[in-house]
């Protein structure tokens, strides 16, 4: 398809001083064509190919992103639990009384309170709710008696900076797919360490 355009050309005429305008017609512009003279556009096959590539890239990226998000939730929760443990040790030493870090597996909560005040009697008591995609459990692998606060398993932090012998040896955080982090009691019972597998 051609387009005829009328153009006004300005040129210099030696016979008359100054510039005069002259009109020319018949200049033709062609749209962009490929070598065969046809107009270039995307074909259906090319569009399907591009969409297929997008589907492949998305199928590769989405599992990696979900794994990344899942790992972040586990890491964040385990760091928060470790921070609460450090606070429990600090309070036990500064206030001179044992602190109890209780774990409610069925309710998806954990928290910190002074041993003598019970779960609600401590003005500084804290209750934290677990991320909805995670589960928490206290595991005591030995035959020793388990420390509890009410009916809940608890870690008892003593004023001398150690963990009571009856406290759970491992606290497990796990997501719905079975991936997890473990907080394992240190051999000298001075606290817990984060591990990505049960040792």
Tell me what pLDDT residue 111 has.
94
Element (H, E) at 60: helix 44-95
**Over the stretch 120-166, which tens digit does the pLDDT of each residue have?**
678 889 999 998 889 999 987 665 668 888 889 999 999 998 999 88
**Mean pLDDT for the chain overall:** 78
Tell me what pLDDT residue 143 has.
59
Residue 142 to residues 139, 170, 172, 173, 187, Cα–Cα distance (Å): 9, 11, 16, 20, 14
Q: Is 5 a residue whose pLDDT tops 60? A: no
Tell me what pLDDT residue 93 has.
93
Tell me what pLDDT residue 24 has.
47
Whole-angstrom distance, CA of residue 20 vs CA of residue 11: 6
Q: Is 199 a residue whose pLDDT tops 50? A: no
**Over the stretch 8-66, which tens digit does the pLDDT of each residue have?**
444 444 454 554 444 445 555 455 555 555 666 678 888 898 899 888 888 887 766 66
How far from chain centre, in Å, is Cα 40? 45
Q: Is 4 a residue whose pLDDT tops 70? A: no
SS3 115: helix
Q: What is the mean pLDDT of residues 171-197?
A: 86
**Over the stretch 102-112, which tens digit does the pLDDT of each residue have?**
999 999 999 99
With CA atoms as reference, report the closest residue to 101 among 116, 117, 115: 115
Q: Is 186 a residue whose pLDDT tops 50? A: yes
Whole-angstrom distance, CA of residue 162 vs CA of residue 165: 9
Model pTM score:
0.63
* Domains of the chain (ranges, CATH numbers): 76-195 (3.55.40.10)
**Over the stretch 59-88, which tens digit does the pLDDT of each residue have?**
887 766 665 565 688 888 989 999 999 999
Tell me what pLDDT residue 171 has.
93
Q: What is the mean pLDDT of residues 181-185?
A: 90
CA torsion through residues 21, 23, 27, 31, sign: positive
């Amino acid at each position: 398809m051609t387009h005829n355009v009328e153009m006004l050309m300005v040129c210099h005429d030696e016979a008359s001083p100054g510039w005069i305008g002259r009109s020319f017609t018949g200049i033709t512009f062609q749209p962009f064509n490929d070598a065969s003279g046809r107009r270039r556009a995307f074909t259906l096959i090319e569009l399907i190919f591009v969409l297929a590539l997008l589907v492949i890239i998305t199928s590769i990226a989405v599992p990696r992103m979900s794994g990344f998000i899942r790992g972040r939730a586990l890491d964040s929760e385990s760091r928060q639990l470790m921070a609460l443990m450090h606070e429990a040790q600090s309070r036990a030493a500064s206030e001179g009384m044992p602190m109890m870090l209780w774990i409610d597996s069925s309710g998806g909560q954990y928290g910190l309170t002074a041993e003598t005040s019970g779960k609600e009697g401590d003005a500084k008591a804290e209750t934290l709710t677990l991320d909805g995609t995670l589960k928490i459990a206290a595991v005591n692998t030995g035959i020793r008696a388990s420390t509890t606060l009410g009916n809940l398993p608890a870690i008892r932090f003593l004023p001398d900076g150690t963990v009571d012998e009856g406290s759970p040896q491992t606290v497990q955080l796990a997501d719905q797919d079975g991936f997890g982090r473990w907080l394992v009691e240190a051999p000298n019972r001075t606290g817990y360490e984060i591990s990505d597998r049960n040792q």
